[in-house]
Structure formats: structure tokens, C-alpha cells
A = this chain, B = another copy of it.
Amino acid sequence: MTDKENIKKTGGSDLMDKVVSLCKRRGFIFPGSEIYGGLQNSWDYGPLGAELKKNIKDEWWNRFVRQRSDMVGLDAALIMNPKVWEASGHLATFNDPLVECKKCHARYRADQTPGLAYSVEKLSTGIETKHLAVAQGTKCASCGEIWFLGKTLESPKQFNLMLKTFLGPAQEQANTVYFRPEIAQAMFVNFKNVLDTSRKRLPFGIASQGSAFRNEITPGNFIFRTREFDLMEFEYFINPKDWEKTFEYWLTEMKRWLHDLGVTSEHLHFVEVSKEDRAHYSQRTVDVEYDYPFGQKELYGLAYRGDFDLKSHAEKSGADLTYTDPEDQKNKFIPHVIEPSFGLNRSILVALLEAYDEEKIAGDEEDVRVVMRFPKWVAPVKVAILPLSKKDELAVIAKPLYAHLSKLFVCDYDETQSIGKRYRRQDEIGTPYCVTVDFETIADKSVTVRDRDTMKQERVLIAELDRYLSGKLTS
């Protein structure tokens, strides 16, 4: 075993650049539509990224849905009746304030553009007043025009963030629909159907995974903010008297999940959202933030939403969304909701950032080992089968071994270049175990198993390999 020195640089754009570059080079994540010059920060998950994403989705579904008697799944349409977005308030209030340069007509976020100071004042009557100030000498980043409010810069206008489209043969107002900007509403709208058919009793949850869409003015930071993204969420329905302990319970479960995803607790911040910043119906909200290389920003969220959502849908739709207490049939009420929300793409991003590591090998000035230290369940490939050479006498052992192990784990088979280079390639994609078939294997029916993290090698009988690897990979 060699001495190793950890030289990973945490924080800073250096780490981000290295992860983005590795993702492209190894087939985790490619720029979307790249041969056509891309499309405004859209991304495609390549062979390894698709496996990584599926591992995280599947583990979440197994843990929170399949292995729990108090949770059921839902897989809903991406386009819902527009009345849903009226009831949820998204049509009226899911807006960004935009200003427009009068010369070149470029538009900017009033609240996020250097040189502009934007604020919203909430009066006690509930009316909001918006203020915009422009610092002297602020120029349009697009055309260079110096901005004066009302003269060369238009006042802020509200811009709805939902992506709209038109169903049916006529592009008219009547056919305008929206791609969902969040996945929660489908769980509220289906509450009664789920309750009636699953016959669950409080407390229970409805869980979903899937795409959501927001017409972000400034997408960016790799997969951190994109216009289409994936969420994993559940709405956990409770008797209001239980909200505090349920909130604590799910906060603990979210921490456990993040730990299992490989996230260092020092990089996490559980920010209690103050009363002024919370939605009016929420008595407690925690933003789960992470130290990304580009700053401390949102990763997950946990909110107590009261009965706001079900109540609003009951009023707007006329449907009866009450729950009858089975112990006391006279006690009918609208359940309250605790909502733990997990961004899937951000889960992938933090898994990549946390896993990235560089090691300097002692005695080799030049040599730096890049290794993705994914938790084993997260790793896209679990086992690589590497015959020492391409010779037939090794292939007749290695190929059937690959075929057999592939039924148990996601495996890779690689026979090109030196064994050292192949080990490094597997390190870079985070494969926990490499199995080398060499010329001694022919005689001793054993293979060398190399551990990604320790680089230790062990000789294991082929007959014992299933049990050896299963034990290691499920621990």
C-alpha cells in the first residue's frame, strides 16, 4: 500500500470546474443538445449519470414508499387543469419582477441585477408596494446604455414563471395550459382518490418523483438551477395536534438520508425561516442549505403547510376533502400537512461534489489519483471485471464471470490499456471494487479484488466472490 496525501480543494470554483469536467469526460452529464450549441443551461445525463440518478431515485422510493406502511406513491401527469394553478396561487403570484432596457429590450431580474435595488414593502392592509432604485452610472449588460428609471429603463413588471403551452388545435386563451412548476399540487388534488382507494388512516403520506418546470430568467451553476428539473417530495397528512413532533421526525429522517448520501454534516445548514419570511400559513419552515462552491444555497426544504392547500382546493373545486376520525365519526377535519422536499438534481450535485477527491501518491511527483468516493449504493458501477490481458485464456474466465456478476450488480468489463490505467479509470467513476483476472487465476481459481478507497488488494476464490462482494456492497 502506498502513502497517500489528500489534496482535495474544497470550496471555490476550482472544485466545481473539476466536477463539471469529470462529468463530461466520463459520461455522467453532458450539455443538452451540445452538437447544436446547447440550450441555455440544459443538461443530459449520460450512461453513468443515468445510473447515478436512478440509484438515488430508487433508494428514496424504497426507503420512503415501499418499506413504509404509512406512505403510498403517485405518478401524476405533468400538465394539469389550469384551475389547479388558480387554486394554488401560482397563476397570480408565481412571478419574478423584470425590468426592460428601453434601448435594446433586454430583460433583467429587478432583484438580482447589480446596480439595481429592489424591495417589496408589505403594508398592514396586505397591499404590497414595490420600490426600485438604480445606482448612478448603471449600464445595460447587453447594449451598454446607461440606465435612468422611466427614461432608459422600464419599471419592473411581474413575469409568471410557469411554462405555458396550448392543447388542442387552436392557439387560444381557452386552450392555454401550464407545465407544473412543482409536484406537490398533484398530491393534494388526488388526496381524496388516494384516501378512498388506499383506505389509509392519519398519519400517512403521498409521495411523488418527477419533472417540474420554471422559466427561470437566470438558470446556471451546472445542474443547480435549470428550467426543467426533478423533484422528490411527499405530503405527509396529519392531525394538526401532531405537527410539532412530526416535523421533528421528518427533519431527523432528512438528516439521516443526507448522511447516507455521503454529505458531510459540516457542509449543511438547517436554517429556521423567520416568521416574516415564511408563507402566511406556515408555522415552521426549515431551509436545508449546502455549502456549494458558489456559496451557501438551498438544497432541500421542510415546511409545515397547515391545511392551506387542501382547504384551498376544497373551496375552489367544491370537492369534500375532509377526513373522518375513525375513533370519533363526528370529528371531521381537513388534515394538515408536513412537506419534506428533496431536489433530485441538487442531490446528484452534492453527491458529486462530496465524492470528488484527489490524492497524491507518495514517491510519484506527478501522480495524482482522482477518486469519486461515492457511498457504495450511489456508485453507478459496483464491480469492474478486468482481465489482465486480452488473451483468450483469460477471456474464457472473465467473460462468464462478468455475465454472472451482472445479474447481481451493475458491472463494467474493460480489457484495454494497462491495468494501472484501468484502475484509475474506475476510481474516477467511483467503482467500489475491481476484480482482476490474471494468469494465476487459471491455476488457483482466484481473482484479485481491489478496494477503491484503500487501494488494498485481496485474493478471493471465484467460488466465494458472490458472497464476498454481496457482503461488501450491502454493508
Binding site for B on A (CB under 8 A): 24-27, 30, 32-40, 42-51, 53-54, 58, 61, 66-69, 72-81, 83-84, 98, 105, 107, 159, 163-170, 177, 179, 186, 189-190, 192-194, 197-199, 211, 215, 217, 226-228, 313, 316-319, 402, 406-407, 410, 413, 416
Contacts and interface: CB of A to CB of B under 8 A. Distances in A.
A437 to B, nearest CB: 15
Interface centre among A26, A42, A77, A165 (most CB of B within 10 A): A77
Contacts of A170: 105, 107
A80 B33 CA distance: 6
A193 B40 contact: no
Contacts of A72: 27, 46-47
A186 B44 CA distance: 9
Contact of A44 (B47, B75, B169, B413): B75
A166 to B, nearest CB: 7
22 contacts: A24-B197, A30-B193, A33-B189, A34-B193, A35-B313, A38-B81, A39-B77, A42-B79, A43-B77, A44-B190, A46-B190, A46-B197, A51-B66, A68-B406, A69-B413, A79-B227, A98-B169, A105-B170, A107-B170, A163-B166, A167-B227, A211-B211
Contact of A197 (B25, B75, B107, B413): B25
Contacts of A107: 169-170
A74 B402 contact: no
A44 B163 contact: no
A39 B76 contact: no
The 6 A-B residue pairs with the shortest CB-CB distance in the complex, in nearest-first order:
A27-B197, A33-B81, A47-B72, A50-B73, A45-B75, A107-B169
A217 B316 CA distance: 29
B169 A217 contact: yes
A183 B104 CA distance: 37
Contacts of A407: 67
A32 B35 CA distance: 37
Contacts of A186: 44
Contact of A27 (B25, B54, B198, B318): B198
Contact of A317 (B35, B78, B215): B35
A190 B402 CA distance: 27
A33 B84 contact: yes
Given A50-B75, A227-B79, A40 B194 contact: no
Contact of A189 (B36, B43, B73, B159): B36
A169 B413 CA distance: 47
A335 to B, nearest CB: 16
Given A43-B77, A77-B32, A81-B38, A406 B215 contact: no
A212 to B, nearest CB: 11
A24 B316 CA distance: 23
A81 B169 contact: no
B193 A27 contact: yes
A24 B193 CA distance: 8
B35 A189 contact: yes
A10 to B, nearest CB: 26
A406 B66 contact: yes
Contact of A76 (B44, B84, B194, B413): B44
A334 to B, nearest CB: 14
Nearest to A23: B197
B42 A77 contact: yes
A74 B50 contact: yes
A66 B197 contact: no
A215 B44 contact: no
Contacts of A76: 32, 44-45
Contacts of A198: 27, 46-47
Contact of A35 (B39, B77, B192): B192
